[in-house]
């Protein structure tokens, strides 16, 4: 079966712009989580969506937002981009987010803010 | 809150050497524990997991045992290969997965 698909793979944006990243989970998975990965901070949890509702949220400013659609696909949006937002953004899906099997990750979107 | 501490890298070994990457966690209750691996340019892949004390997760020659008494989940492999070069993340989960900082592993031929 198809894995977790993230688009686009690479993105270059200018400070002050906004960006939308997309994640299509594994078929049947209803939980989608987003992580930001940087060399300095490692993997930091952004938020989790389940059945179109945000179930959990990390400690990121309000510029970071997300949503989930009825087909479980998820998008995250970052407004007013800052240089420090440059990172690899990873999406992960699981059946319910509470199952014990761990998450399946996509290959990520590499965002560069210039 | 829950947290994970793993040994800092990079770790450099010769092919066929024995590997240990230490990982300890703090958590309330009895969390599930995971090791993920990230190859260059890719996302994270679940390597192995354990869901209760004394469970041993294993995959591709890697093993880790859930030690409640020492709150540890050390990753081991008896004979590493060049293809094992990657970044390894220890993780625990309460209502979200919490990752350690990652350990970069270099295997020399």
The mean predicted confidence, pLDDT, of chain B is 93
Q: Which pLDDT band holds residue A19 (cuts at 50, 70, 90)?
A: very high
Q: Is the pLDDT of residue A98 over 70?
A: no
Q: Each residue of B3-45: pLDDT tens digit? A: 999 988 899 999 999 999 999 999 888 889 999 999 988 889 9
Position A108 pLDDT exceeds 80: yes
pLDDT of B75 over the 70 cut? yes
Q: Do B44 and A107 touch (CB under 8 A)?
A: no
**What would the mean pLDDT of A69-97 be, rounded to a whole number?**
94
SS3 labels along A6-59: EECCEEEECCCCCEEEEEECCCCCCEEEEEEEECCCEEEEEEEEECCEEEEECC
The pLDDT value given to residue B16: 97
Indicate yes or no: CB of B34 within 8 angstroms of CB of A102. Answer: yes
Residue B99 has pLDDT above 70, yes or no: yes
Both tokens of B55, joined, read 């469970």
Q: Among A35, A31, A40, which Cα is nearest to A21's?
A: A35
pLDDT at A101 (0 to 100) = 65
Count chain A–chain B contacts defined by CB atoms under 8 A: 50
Burial class (CB in 10 A: 0-12, 13-18, 19+), A3: middle
pLDDT of the residue at B77: 98
Q: Do B32 and A102 touch (CB under 8 A)?
A: yes
Q: Which residue of B has its CA nearest to A109?
A: B43
Distance from CA of B38 to the nearest CA of A (A): 10
Q: How far is B15 from chain A (nearest CA, A)?
A: 27
Query: What is the pLDDT averaged over residues A95-108?
Result: 79
What is the band of B95 on the pLDDT scale with cuts at 50, 70, 90? confident
């Amino acid at each position: 079966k198809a894995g977790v698909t993230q688009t686009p793979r690479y993105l270059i944006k200018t400070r002050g712009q906004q960006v939308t990243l997309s994640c299509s989970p594994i078929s049947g998975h209803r939980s989608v989580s987003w992580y930001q990965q940087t060399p300095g901070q490692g993997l930091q949890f952004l938020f989790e969506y389940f059945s179109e509702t945000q179930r959990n949220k990390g400690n990121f400013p309000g510029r970071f937002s997300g949503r989930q659609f009825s087909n479980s696909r998820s998008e995250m949006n970052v407004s007013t981009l800052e240089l420090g937002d440059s990172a690899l953004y990873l999406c992960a899906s699981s059946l319910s987010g509470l199952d014990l099997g761990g998450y399946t990750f996509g290959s990520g979107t590499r965002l560069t803010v210039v | 809150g829950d947290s994970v501490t793993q040994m800092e890298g990079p770790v450099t070994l010769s092919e066929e050497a024995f590997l240990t990457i230490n990982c300890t966690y703090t958590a309330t209750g009895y969390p599930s524990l995971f090791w993920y691996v990230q190859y260059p340019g890719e996302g994270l892949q679940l390597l192995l997991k354990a869901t209760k004390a004394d469970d041993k997760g294993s995959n591709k020659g890697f093993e880790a045992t859930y030690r409640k008494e020492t709150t540890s989940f050390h990753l081991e492999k008896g004979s590493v290969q060049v293809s094992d070069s990657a970044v390894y993340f220890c993780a625990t989960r309460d209502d979200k997965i919490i990752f350690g900082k990652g350990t970069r592993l270099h295997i020399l031929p």
